Amino acid sequence: MWYELSKEFIYNVVGLEGKLADATHFFIYDTIKIWFLLLTIIFAVSFLRTWVNTEYVRAHLQGKSALYGHVGASLFGIITPFCSCSAIPLFLGFIQARIPIGVTFSYLISAPMNNEIAIAMLFGIFGWQITSIYIAFGLTVAILGGWLIGRLGMEKEVLMDVKPIEGELEATLVKLSFKDRAKEAWNYTLDIFKKIYIYVMIGVGAGAWIHGYIPTDFIATYTGEGNPFAVIVAVLMGIPMYSNAAGVMPLVEVLTSKGMLLGTALSFMMAVTALSLPEALILKKIISLKLIGIFFAIVGSGIIAIGYLFNIIL
């Protein structure tokens, strides 16, 4: 509904046209959407933390194999229809709940790349075989990427001060009213939102400009079939962009029709959805540049490998 309302406002009420209208609509729609997700998810997680002792969650994960947490987080990403920026609020919620950092990254990688919208559109355009291979490869990148980050011990690279809110650590001892719990959670939510909302605007603004002004032909020219480095180029070109699966899938269909190999096109789609400049700008307030660089390097390398494997298989 908000998508159509914002579109009606930009194109008909304001009267913008062409690339400027596309970029402006993208900026308004995605900024409001991500702000709403941030407020809603952070509040929900913060409120639930007053009822649940997150030490039990951590103890549960620590009692299982490392693979258990990474696989679970990656599979959970399939059922959350988020783009790379929209997945950050829940990623932040996992950090607040002190879920192991590697597991939170498995979710952050999987959610935009493997969500049900991407799967449904892939199935509709390319069929079940290609869709199945894509899901298997996508989950592999999410599981291994999160596992590698976890093995590197990156907890100290989290910049947000994650403090236990009242009632969390001793939920069975402290008796708070429903109103007090909601107030505590809301204050905590606003505090975090004030620290990162401007980064959302900057990030989405960069993505909106790319969305509106980078032509399809420019991408296809440098990632054609005759270029042995096409997959690498496609991934490097995709990382600065920003879109969700629904937005980039039509572009993938166009690129393959112009001669781009399917593996190259899908690696481009993975880079656009799982990694983006706007995502990095938002994450900059949550984690260090060092961890952002490691995250992008690991996931980017995995996507490149998958692109070449796709081209070999298909």
pLDDT value of residue 122: 78
Cβ distance 264 to 228 under 8 Å?
Answer: no
pLDDT of residue 105: 92
Q: What is the pLDDT of residue 43?
A: 82
Of 308, 311, 269, residue with least CA distance to 83: 269
Contact 23, 209 (CB under 8 A): yes
Task: Report whether 196 contacts 269 (CB < 8 A).
Answer: no
Asked if 270 contacts 202 with a C-beta cutoff of 8 angstroms, the reply is no
Q: Which residue has the tokens 């059922």?
A: 79
Q: Is the pTM of this model over 0.75?
A: no
How far out from the chain centre does Cα 305 lie?
A: 20
Beta-bridged to residue 158, according to DSSP, are: 287
- What phi and psi values does residue 53 have, to the nearest 5 degrees? -80, 105
Bridge-partner residues for 287, per DSSP? 158
Other CB atoms within a 10 A radius of the CB of residue 62 amount to 10
- Distance between CA 289 and CA 95 in Å, rounded? 17
CA atoms within 13 A on the CB side of 25: 23
> Do the beta carbons of residue 287 and residue 253 sit within 8 Å?
no
pLDDT score, position 296: 92
Give the C-alpha separation, 184 to 92, whole Å.
17
Give me the tens of pLDDT residue by residue for the chain, a chain 314 residues long: 667 787 888 887 878 888 888 888 878 887 887 788 768 867 876 787 677 555 555 556 555 677 888 998 888 888 775 666 777 877 887 787 778 889 989 988 888 888 776 777 677 777 888 888 888 988 999 999 999 998 998 888 888 765 554 444 444 445 677 888 888 888 878 887 887 677 667 767 766 776 677 666 666 677 666 778 889 988 888 887 766 666 677 677 767 766 678 888 888 888 888 887 778 888 888 889 999 999 999 989 999 998 898 888 87
